[in-house]
Structure 1
Amino acid sequence: MLVQVDNDVAAREYVQGIYETVVKRNPNETEFHQAVKEIIESLIPVLTKQPKYMKHGILERIVEPERLITFRVPWVNDQGITQVNRGFRVQFNGAIGPYKGGLRFHPSVNASIIKFLGFEQTLKNSLTGQPIGGGKGGSDFDPKGKSDNEIMRFTQSFMTELYKYIGPDTDVPAGDIGVGAREIGYMFGQYKRISGAHESGVLTGKGIIYGGSLGRTEATGYGCVYFVNEMLNSKGLSFEGSTVVVSGSGNVATYSIEKAIQLGAKVVACSDSNGYIHDKNGICLETVRRLKEVERTRISEYVKEHPSATYHEGCNGIWSIPCDIALPSATQNEIDEESARLLVSNGVKAIGEGANMPSTLEAIDVFLQAGVLFGPAKAANAGGVAVSALEMSQNSMRYSWSFHEVDDKLHAIMKNIYRSAVQAAEEYGHPGNLVVGANIAGFTKVADAMIAQGVV
């Protein structure tokens, strides 16, 4: 017992020292600090029980990206004026496979956000059970309001630099916020043009007609709902008859709404970066899709066609709407402590993080202390990268699976992720805490691979 106590003290001191070093080495990178703190503090139980990870300096290595690539992206707008953006790619950890992770185009993108996403992606990819390492990338370019030609010119310039660092067996990017089928298509075309080869496996999220996978578009949203459904079923609950609030109206949100409705829920709210809509009769998904995917306009237009709905400026207010299930699917830190307390007071039963790190550390504490079922992002939103890995497999085989086959594989992967998180949480003394469980389950696989490969 005394040895266990000593190990616990040593683990806590080790973790605190690692965190202080990260903050010192990466000043002002608050998002990265947050991700590191959330993950490594939850690893104290495994470090206590298995001090070999401290002996081998795993945390020192795992919090430091293998490389961070930053580059200039010059392009010309429709007025003939040269614009310059900044591009990023972090190849965070390749211990279990080629780097895998999306590209985000958004004005907020900087080194801190790319590194937090890459670190989270490392454990997320490990949880899928597939041989893929962690990476992430993007640019501070804002695709909103840009013409198709401007998007094409920017993405071609972006890929002209990025192509040097990626490949089917090296680093395989995909889409993320601001990067959908259009952007992936332009980037794949430029990669093919430069390399002179049709290497389908170099990007995922491609169009079906040139190497994409059926089910990839739906995967993150569907996967999140599948994961939340496992949590609900463990307590004798389900989506059937539940009221659901989903933030965002992009790819993840859209397909979360679709699958939740299929499972019998009523989704009453969604949002974009300007504000949110509340439709007490249930969101009409067809209208949302047309507005966002076809007309590329703002969600506020929804109320013109649905008089029962109301539109509200600003995004935080969406969490004031009473619901049984909340699926934050927009961006990082969208649920703060105040919003979390409001959700709890209004009777929320389950949270499924469809976005990356959408809840602050304080908000997560509120949910856990209140006994709310909480699906952390690295587990709940792993469906997208899981199907990206399935797309890579299909590209390697020069073969394609049906939508039903891919969806069945996705469903099985999400169930396995849930079971792995539950088992790890129980094994290390935190039963029911899927934050701890997911972090430990993802970490141990990567850490054991790093030990096996020596100090690299």
Structure 2
Amino acid sequence: MNLTAEISQEAVSYVQNVFETVQKRNPNESEFHQAVKEIVDSLIPVFSKHPKYQEAGILERLVEPERVISFRVPWVDDQGKIQVNRGFRVQFNSAIGPYKGGLRFHPSVNVSIIKFLGFEQILKNSLTGLPIGGGKGGADFDPKGKSDGEIMRFCQSFMTELCKYIGPDSDVPAGDIGVGAREIGFMFGQYKRIRGGHEAGVLTGKGLNYGGSLGRPEATGYGCVYFVEEMLKSKGTSFEGKTVVVSGSGNVSTFAIQKAQQLGAKVVACSDSGGYVYDPDGICLETLRRLKEVERKRISEYVKERPGAQYTEGCQEIWNIPCDIALPCATQNEINEASAAILISNGVKAIGEGANMPSTLDAIDLFLKNDVLFGPAKAANAGGVAVSALEMSQNSMRLSWSFEEVDGKLHEIMKNIYESSVKAADQYDCPGNLVVGANIAGFLKVADAMLAQGIV
């Protein structure tokens, strides 16, 4: 992780022993191991400088979830056949506030992925400066190709079990991959049906007419661009005139494209799970959003309306397209070492992670060694959970803020996350390393709260 601080061998051994214990206790959970490794290695300077955290067993407690919940989700499809999926909720750490983190509906979902997301969420939520702990959940259900009726029945069954473990002051889920406004609405309706009353603060990402917040759909994509904007400013430059590649074409990606275009960039490529489109004239956001959000079609349809564009099967080669700025907004580990090397050879100047853990550890090391500005996910994509927490605040106060007010708060939060990451990296002798800086800045707040609350 390119640590340059003077560190003690005791701190190195301590962190290594904790990681080895995580591997032994959680076999075959590669995504969780990767997330833990990336974070704990960067915390070595903290344990070297502040032995109190080691003496209090903070790291041993941090890597162990407070609670892991797994449950059966039976539902009936349109043909009357009973289907069964598996649901999860990992309540990882509540030291600074109620568990907060999205729900992911995707066939790849398993306990390893939910734990990696929940672990990352602890520090991400801490970085926002808002009082929210870390959690995550989801199911191995695939919404693609399902009717609205099937999705409603699944969501109702899922919430029938999940409602036992969540609440406005204990655990507040939101959306993630496969969970948008439609799914949140169905789950919120079922929660009300079971629990009674209108507890608006139990879910975030709700529709505007029943407790949602203006600016929430835009938050993760906008926030990622705001973070990269701060990185670029540190080098005396901006998005103006830059060529940008954005992976994905969902909520995060489309709003990252929109904000980058508003700041003067040309976004030339985006993707979905089938492949990617390259449009040398710049992605037409209106066409993209209509195809994906309204007509629910594959991105391959884009080239039928934009004859100058090209469609390529498969997603990996999107990173072969020369660009100044890359915004991986699709899924975990989409940029490996080989893709990172191609981006670097093509002159990439900045990476902003809009997805969760989209770069492998080897890819991150390569970016840092080659002085590429790198905005790690827990910092760069924290905008979504930040505005979710703002939605919780509005629900508590029975108020609705304007879009401009929410967007202004988001912009300030992302600026503060950048500045706190830079400051922590400098304080621990890792200047410019925002991976280390973000991890340390997020960790210290949680660690101090855990110390204050005793052994729990």
- The answer, yes or no, to whether TM exceeds 0.5 is yes
2 CA distance for matches of 1:382 and 1:42?
A: 19
CA deviations on 1:94-121 (whole Å, 9 max, x unpaired) are 0000000000000000000000000000
- Give the drift of 1:237: 1.3
2 CA distance for matches of 1:297 and 1:362?
A: 34
2 CA distance for matches of 1:196 and 1:15?
A: 47
Counterpart in 1 of 2:370?
Answer: 370
- Give the drift of 1:8: 1.3
User: How many pairs are equivalent?
Assistant: 452
Counterpart in 1 of 2:115?
Answer: 115
Counterpart in 2 of 1:105?
Answer: 105
CA deviations on 1:187-222 (whole Å, 9 max, x unpaired) are 000000000110000000000000000000000000
Counterpart in 1 of 2:142?
Answer: 142
Q: Are residues 1:250 and 2:250 paired?
A: yes
2 CA distance for matches of 1:62 and 1:148?
A: 39
Counterpart in 1 of 2:434?
Answer: 434
Is the partner of 2:330 in helix, strand or coil? coil
2 CA distance for matches of 1:11 and 1:291?
A: 52
Listed as ranges, the matches of 1:322-341 within 5 Å are: 322-341=322-341
Counterpart in 2 of 1:160?
Answer: 160
Residue identity opposite 1:414 in structure 2: M
2 CA distance for matches of 1:65 and 1:271?
A: 34
Is the partner of 2:73 in helix, strand or coil? strand
CA deviations on 1:273-297 (whole Å, 9 max, x unpaired) are 0000000000000011001100011
Unaligned runs of 5+ in 1: none
Listed as ranges, the matches of 1:30-429 within 5 Å are: 30-429=30-429
- Give the drift of 1:304: 0.2
Counterpart in 1 of 2:24?
Answer: 24
2 CA distance for matches of 1:287 and 1:278?
A: 14
Residue identity opposite 2:143 in structure 1: P
Unaligned runs of 5+ in 2: none
Residue identity opposite 1:54 in structure 2: Q
Residue identity opposite 2:210 in structure 1: Y
Segments ≥4 residues shifted beyond 6 Å: none
1 CA distance for matches of 2:345 and 2:77?
A: 49
Q: Percent identity?
A: 80
CA deviations on 1:154-192 (whole Å, 9 max, x unpaired) are 000000000000000000000000000000000000000
Residue identity opposite 2:301 in structure 1: E
- Give the drift of 1:227: 0.2
Residue identity opposite 1:370 in structure 2: N
- Give the drift of 1:151: 0.3
Is the partner of 1:217 in helix, strand or coil? coil
- Give the drift of 1:152: 0.1
- Give the drift of 1:453: 0.2
1 CA distance for matches of 2:51 and 2:351?
A: 33
- Give the drift of 1:126: 0.1
2 CA distance for matches of 1:330 and 1:65?
A: 26
Residue identity opposite 1:454 in structure 2: G
What do you get for the CA RMSD once the two structures are aligned? 0.7
2 CA distance for matches of 1:275 and 1:197?
A: 44
1 CA distance for matches of 2:420 and 2:201?
A: 28
2 CA distance for matches of 1:407 and 1:84?
A: 40
1 CA distance for matches of 2:27 and 2:95?
A: 27
